[in-house]
Structure 1
Amino acid sequence: MKIAILGSGVIGVTSAYYLAEAGHEVVVVDRQPGPALETSFANAGEVSPGYASPWAGPGVPLKAVKWVTMRHGPLVVRPKLSPAMWIWIAQMLRNCTSARYALNKSRMVRLAEYSRDVLRALRAETGIAYDERTQGTLQLFRTQAQVDGAAGDIAVLKDYGVPFEVLDPAGCTVAEPALAAVREKIRGGLRLPGDETGDCQMFTTRLAGLAAALGVTFRYGVDIQGLTTEGDRIAAIATAGGPVTADAYVVALGSYSPLLLKPIGLSLPVYPVKGYSITLPVTQAAAAPVSTVMDETYKVAITRLGERIRVGGTAELSGYDLALRNARQATLVHSASDLFPQGGDFAQASFWCGLRPMTPDGTPVIGATRYRNLHLNTGHGTLGWTMACGSGRVLADLISGKTPDIDTSDLGIARYR
């Protein structure tokens, strides 16, 4: 079967690889000149099944009020006139109940754990390298209230069988030796040893090379204008260079997926949540993080990627605005320099932002639509890198008529009907 994939981020490329491995003829279409040049380009670098949790949960509305008033707060809201923003916020607030949190969490953990296992298998089979490390994630608490508040998260981790370690300040410095220099700022930590790190853009670029070796065609620099329909099927992708036709189509355009789908009558509740990062060279290896440290106070992830440090954070609701705002850079620098002041050269930091495609329930949308040859793989939010390999493998199985290794009955767009 010939399959056209719209989007060459980490989700589109993993989909292409597993579909080609299943024997399909695959073409990937993207407006960028290469793979992983938008949201997958400079994310926080975490492959974190242990943090596979929906943003919507009990207590989040009250926390959000506090976050938007903090100087270095993790949440920024720039109100827009667009109804899409307010509808999405209302849908997310509906998911801020204990029952919905538990349901959404179960979906996300299932996919995230599976995806990490698929990534490990891929690494073993191909030898793909991407500045990966398998040394876990440390959630760092600066206050006793944060230590006490972790009890709820720990209970959830126990329920889902996710390995974890509760650490005192001394234990935190064992996991991340550079933190010994700032031990007085630490009250404790929660370590997730099963988590990994790696450069998502490097991984996606190298996987695209492996996919090309399997016969995948990548058509870069193609402006996608829309989808052409014929009854209950997609007939072609309309592009500036003419139509692209296939037997089946996969939309993996992240935050731009709903814009493409709306004209053909599909309502996809995905909204862009802007995130920022800085990347800086390591100056003193012993003073830099070993893996990922999640600064709970500012919701900032500080990750070691080879001889670089990636610092990522902030959830900004501002539509499709890609402006780089200095205040957000200041927050990232503040968190990282406070914990690892001698670890990297902050004067050489590069600043970046990307649009995370968030669903109101946190779970991505994977699978069929009411158009019999149109499939979705989008809406992964902050966990696109974490869930990419599992999502691509699941989608390939579904399109190939195989039964996936995990339950996918609640991952599709039908759950929003």
Structure 2
Amino acid sequence: MIRPLDVVVLGAGVIGVTTAYALAKRGLSVAIVDRRTGPGYETSYANGAQLSYAYTDALASPALLRKLPFLVTMGDPAIDLKLTADPAFIKWGLHFLRNCTGGRFKANTLAALELAMESRLALHTLLARHPLDFAYEAAGKLHLYYDDKGLPAADEVRKLKGRSGVIQYMMTPAEARAIEPALESVSGIAGAIYTPDDEVGDPHAFCMNLLQVLVDEYGVQTHFGFEAAALESRHGLVRIQNGQNDEISARRVAICLGIGAPRFLGQIGIRVPIWPMKGYSFTAPHGVAAPRISITDTARKIVLCNLGGQMRVAGIAQLGNWNNDVDPVQLHRLIHKAQSAFPDAARYDKAYMTWAGLRPMSPRSLPIISEPRPDIFLNVGHGMLGWTFAMGAAERTANLIMNENLESLNEE
């Protein structure tokens, strides 16, 4: 008798492939399933590429709460809120508002920081075993501020993280320019926070290379072009159907479907508080003053990342936009914002690899890692830090599944 697979992982973005790895290295038999032709082709494809281990600030905060009336009535070039009467959004919004207190902001930020540190350790352990090629570099990061009023609050958060061992430095504009000469042409900087240990890497290349390791060295099965349409449990197995009489089964299933999770899980009565935050990116050749260190511009809400000899620029946050097509108007706005602030960082007229992705936001800005049923495990809701959280969230999910798996084996 053929032994059934231990786990089917639904979704092959950075969350899915890292979850498959965390399970396979523990000795479980695994299959990974995705509707696309390969791994990392949706939200993971061309995101900001920053592994922002130290920048885990929760979105819900007293500062954002104070801005909400303006955002709702006047709008903001960096953050666009799409209000709707959808009961799921209302429920999500109420949970989000509940997390806008100072105490919850602090707790959520520190919880995210803990997960990020786990993720960094897990990635370093992976790379020591399997040296993957994905433009990985410990480039460090500069968070730029243009308003003196925001610096004290930013410094307080820096000190809060410092008590957890995070190394960051508050810098004057001159000090920031000394470590990143490309900022000489950037005007209006009031101060900066420098994090030397933050990293960068191409998430799509990571997915492709890690998948190859999974297949070649761990025997992981792949099922691409398979759009999971239904799930049912029969005779001790979870069975995934695609609506075309094809079926994949295993003892357990790990749901890593990103923004697709709410709809898929809703069919089997499992509700998850996830709402989309659409973002954009483009990649361009280096300009004459391309920054070496990753940059986050807090005023314009954009990031610049030196990625494998090219510049990756990402930004724009549209809460509630479910359309993942690249809107040329929004893309032009992103290019214009980056060019106006960092005119020599990239050759903006040569921008290519344009992308839009739907980041799956939870009200707490923390992933949902849970076991709603004994045979169903969730690793969803990573928001704008999916690339940063991926390895740590995968380890937590695998530990959860292993505990369940060991218990069931003992019962047998």
TM-score by length of 1: 0.90
Which segment drifts farther, 244-253 or 135-144?
Answer: 135-144
Confirm whether residue 186 of structure 1 aligns to residue 189 of structure 2: yes
- Per-residue Cα deviation, 1:125-164 (whole angstroms, up to 9, x for no partner): 2111211120211000122223233233223222322110
304, 320, 334: which is aligned to 1:318?
320
- Per-residue Cα deviation, 1:325-363 (whole angstroms, up to 9, x for no partner): 344323422332234312322112132110001100111
The answer as to whether partners of 2:9 and 2:16 remain within 8 angstroms in 1 is: yes
Confirm whether residue 361 of structure 1 aligns to residue 364 of structure 2: yes
345, 351, 355: which is aligned to 1:352?
355
The answer as to whether partners of 2:230 and 2:240 remain within 8 angstroms in 1 is: yes
Unaligned runs of 5+ in 2: 406-412
Confirm whether residue 174 of structure 1 aligns to residue 203 of structure 2: no
Cα distance change on mapping 1:64 and 1:326 into 2, 3 Å: farther
For 1:113 and 1:326, the matched residues in 2 are separated by: 37
- Per-residue Cα deviation, 1:168-226 (whole angstroms, up to 9, x for no partner): 111111222111122x4211100111211111111111111111111011110012102
Partner SS state of residue 277, structure 1: strand
1:402 offset after TM fit, Å?
Answer: 9.2
> Match of 2:221?
217
> Match of 1:408?
none
1:58 offset after TM fit, Å?
Answer: 1.3
> Match of 1:136?
140
For 2:221 and 2:298, the matched residues in 1 are separated by: 42
> Match of 1:250?
254
Partner SS state of residue 62, structure 2: coil
> Match of 2:161?
157
1:67 offset after TM fit, Å?
Answer: 5.0
> Match of 1:6?
10
> Match of 2:55?
51
- Per-residue Cα deviation, 1:73-97 (whole angstroms, up to 9, x for no partner): 2211223342222221221011101
> Match of 2:389?
387
1:65 offset after TM fit, Å?
Answer: 4.0
> Match of 1:202?
205
| Equivalent pairs, count | 398
Give the 4+ runs in structure 1 shifted more than 3 A.
64-72
> Match of 2:307?
305
Confirm whether residue 79 of structure 1 aligns to residue 83 of structure 2: yes
What is the one-letter code of the residue matched to 2:22? Answer: Y
Confirm whether residue 342 of structure 1 aligns to residue 317 of structure 2: no
What is the one-letter code of the residue matched to 1:305? Answer: L
The answer as to whether partners of 1:64 and 1:75 remain within 8 angstroms in 2 is: no
Q: What percentage of residue pairs aligned between the two structures are identical? A: 33
Confirm whether residue 36 of structure 1 aligns to residue 64 of structure 2: no
Superposed CA RMSD: 2.1
For 2:334 and 2:292, the matched residues in 1 are separated by: 18
- In the TM superposition, 1:226-305 aligns within 5 A as 226-230=230-234, 235-241=238-244, 242-284=246-288, 287-305=289-307
Unaligned runs of 5+ in 1: 404-417
> Match of 1:407?
none
TM-score by length of 2: 0.91
For 2:170 and 2:213, the matched residues in 1 are separated by: 40
